[in-house]
Structure 1
Amino acid sequence: MSFPVLICDDSALARKQIARSLPASLNADITFAVHGLDALKQLELNDFKLMFLDLTMPELDGFGTLEELQRLGNTTPVVVVSGDIQPKAKAKVLALGAKAFIQKPIDKAVLNDVLKELVEPVAQPRIITPTSIDLPILRRRDIYMEVANVSIGRAADALARHFDVFVHLPLPNVNILEVSELHMALRDLADNDQVSGICQGFSGEGIAGEALVLLSDSSVADLKKLMKIPADSEELEELELLMDVSNILVGSFLNGLGEQSEVRFFQSSPVLLGQHISIDSVIASTSGSFNKTMTFEVSYNIDDTSIRCDLLFMFVDESLPLLDNKLAYLMEDF
């Protein structure tokens, strides 16, 4: 007898990883959903014995899906599998009824421990007929989206722990841009005429680029309140705060990327592009640095504040084949 399982994740790579990690002994009959609304529709049509749920998704995220399951009285056991590993995120999903939380990328040993807790063992030996699974077809962009998703989750976790806050995680944007398109993207990032910009170079095994951290003036002011720094404090304290935020975000992101690509990244000291400057000044600082670049971009928002921090990673042209090679294993079946 098969064991019906619903896997809900917008990432084709994550859906494939979870499906491939389920033990054959479970005899899972797998259905996929690409966001929360899709999952709720599947739950209306079918009875599932277990559901795996991502948190950061379009249409309806994992938190909203859990809230809706509670409202509907649906008791399907849910295991959250997410790159958003903040302590407050874990506490929130467990409070909303999730049975367990597994950190991305999924670890088979951890998954098996969770399954032992949630799935009743078979009383007698049985003959298992393998269930056919139509696994997602992966594209290069799918790989980079999921790798970026895990890495931004590491950075959000470090920021959340440092400031004791909850950081909202949107989906990352992954693009290959000409330099003119990069400048357009930077203008879109800055919804405030005045920003503070920090730049940090990074490199590892021939893979190199620059990270850019942008904070609007209003965000800097709110960060100072969060850290209980007097509003009229010296600019040196504000500068230290900016450098601190940049080191936390860039270092944690690179650690997450390095774990997945098996590359040890080194980052240079943060460089202040300017405080209370126009976005055009930031754009001018990137002119001549890139012809074409792959970018990972995300905007972090801190709960109960107006703080928004934009993080942009730009990889130089020559790095892309090397990074492709390092991540090629994710395209393979395992």
Structure 2
Amino acid sequence: MTPHETHSITPSLVSAPPSNTPATMTAIVFDVPGGPGVLRLAEVPTPIRAGSEILVKVSAAGVNPIDAKTRAGAGVAAAIPLYPAVLGRDFCGIVVESPYDGHPLKPGDEVYGISASPRVAGSYAQYVSVPSLQVARKPRRLTPVEAGAVPTAALTAWGLVVDVAKAHEGQRMLIHAGAGGVGHLAVQLAAYFGARVVATTSAANASWLRELGAEEVIDYTTTRFEDRVTDVDVVIDLVGNVRDDTGTRSLATLRPGGLIISVPTGSWPGFAAEAEAAGMRSSGYSVAPDAACLSIISRLIDSGDLHVHISEIYPLEDAAEAHALLERGHTRGKIVLEIP
């Protein structure tokens, strides 16, 4: 069997859904890796809740770079067990089934979280079954579409800023791609915890990032950031070395012993060795679904201390167009699919 071989989903792999949900659902699938055009609308079996999972009727699904990379055959495509595959990590929706009667999340509750895609069908679909430790209550002040954009980007931003960089009062932090899905949340979290934030972006987003808490904003299209910034404590690189050696050039902005965190580490072979040779510390990062942390993020959103920006909303059937927009880059905030 080759990784790109197409198979039908058989009854031996998927059991019949409970009587109060349809046997099949509408989803976006792809049969082989490729460009956005490989995404198509299809009817597939509705997933079954098992063990500690929660079955959720999906209202909205965020579109993330990892989705596009996986669709193209990179990202986590190697973990796809069979095709046709359903992408999508982020979701917001309504609980249909809980693990047991006394579970805190009950049928009818509005929740958001991260699916186990690509090992199982993801959230570009009308239903998703997700481990309960990956699901939290939706922020009250957000619509389902807004909430569907939050989980992966917010948990990534939290992990980078809080867990790895340990943001604190007076710390200087340089955040690349500050206007992106993760970047605009990382800027807010860093400022919230007292860091002095410098962000790179295009001129169109400069005033917006200042409103979000950036102390200084550098237009990367006209200015070499290393000519403006020195002695920062932490660099959060959401770009990598795929564009104008952003990662390598960032080493020159750090104080001796400073920390560089590279999210797209695949774009920079030898990342750790180069940082060590320059006298800097380094770390990659990979987000982990965490309902407890999502609950904290919900409280920050509901208190008005954290805001998510939606750039575009597409109906589910236009997922290919959403992927094409994402891959063109320079998107402010997040792209979301609305599920019928």
Which interval holds the TM-score relative to the shorter structure? under 0.3
More helix by share: 1
Tell me the TM-score normalized by structure 2: 0.25
